[in-house]
Structure 1
Amino acid sequence: MKTTVVAVINQKGGTGKTTTTINLGSALSKLGKKVLLLDLDPQSNLSYSLAVSGTDATLADVFLGSKKLQDILVEKDGLWIAPGSNDLVDIEISLVSQPDRENFLKTILSELKGYDYVLIDCPPSLSVLTLNALTAAQEVLVPLQMEVLTLQGLDQIMNTVQKVKKAFNPKLKIKGIVVVMFDIRRKLSLEVLEYLRENLKEKIFSSHIRLNVKLAEAPSFGKSVIDYDGSSNGAKDYKALAEEFVRA
Structure 2
Amino acid sequence: MMKPKVVAVINQKGGTGKTTTTINLGSALSKRGKKVLLVDLDPQSNLSYSLAVTSPAATLADVFLGNKALLDILLEKDGLWIAPGSNELVDIEISLVTQPEREMFLKRILAEATDFDYVLIDCPPSLSVLTLNALTAAEEVLIPLQMEVLTLQGLDQILNTVEKVQNAFNPQLKVRGIVVVMFDVRRKLSQEVLDYLRTNVKENIFNSQIRLNVKLAEAPSFGQSIIDYDPSSKGAADYGALAEEYLSV
Check if 1:67 corresponds to 2:68: yes
In structure 2, what is the equivalent of residue 40 of structure 1?
Answer: 41
RMSD: 0.5
In structure 2, what is the equivalent of residue 222 of structure 1?
Answer: 223
In structure 2, what is the equivalent of residue 211 of structure 1?
Answer: 212
Matching residue's letter, 1:120 = I
In structure 2, what is the equivalent of residue 55 of structure 1?
Answer: 56
Count of aligned positions: 248
Q: Any residues of structure 2 matched to 1:52-201 within 5 Å, and which?
A: 52-201=53-202
Q: What is the rounded CA distance, in whole Å, between the counterparts of 1:111 and 1:242 in structure 2?
A: 25
Check if 1:26 corresponds to 2:27: yes
Q: What is the rounded CA distance, in whole Å, between the counterparts of 2:112 and 2:233 in structure 1?
A: 37
Matching residue's letter, 1:97 = T
Runs of 4+ in 1 over 2 A off after TM superposition: none
Deviation at 1:184, TM superposition (A): 1.2
Q: What is the rounded CA distance, in whole Å, between the counterparts of 1:198 and 1:2 in structure 2?
A: 35
**Paired residue secondary structure (2:227):** helix
Deviation at 1:53, TM superposition (A): 2.2
Aligned sequence identity (%) = 80
Runs of at least 5 residues in structure 2 that lack an aligned partner in the other structure: none
Q: What is the rounded CA distance, in whole Å, between the counterparts of 2:141 and 2:120 in structure 1?
A: 10
Normalised to the residue count of structure 1, the TM-score between the two structures is 0.99
Q: What is the rounded CA distance, in whole Å, between the counterparts of 1:109 and 1:48 in structure 2?
A: 22
Query: 1:37-88: CA deviations, max 9, x gaps?
Result: 0000000000000001211100000000000000000000000000000000
Deviation at 1:113, TM superposition (A): 1.1
Q: What is the rounded CA distance, in whole Å, between the counterparts of 1:147 and 1:89 in structure 2?
A: 29
Query: 1:153-211: CA deviations, max 9, x gaps?
Result: 00000000000000000000000000000011101000000000001111000000000
**Paired residue secondary structure (1:56):** coil
Runs of at least 5 residues in structure 1 that lack an aligned partner in the other structure: none
Q: What is the rounded CA distance, in whole Å, between the counterparts of 2:25 and 2:81 in structure 1?
A: 13
Matching residue's letter, 1:53 = T
Matching residue's letter, 1:217 = E
Matching residue's letter, 1:111 = E
Matching residue's letter, 2:138 = A
Normalised to the residue count of structure 2, the TM-score between the two structures is 0.99
Deviation at 1:2, TM superposition (A): 3.0
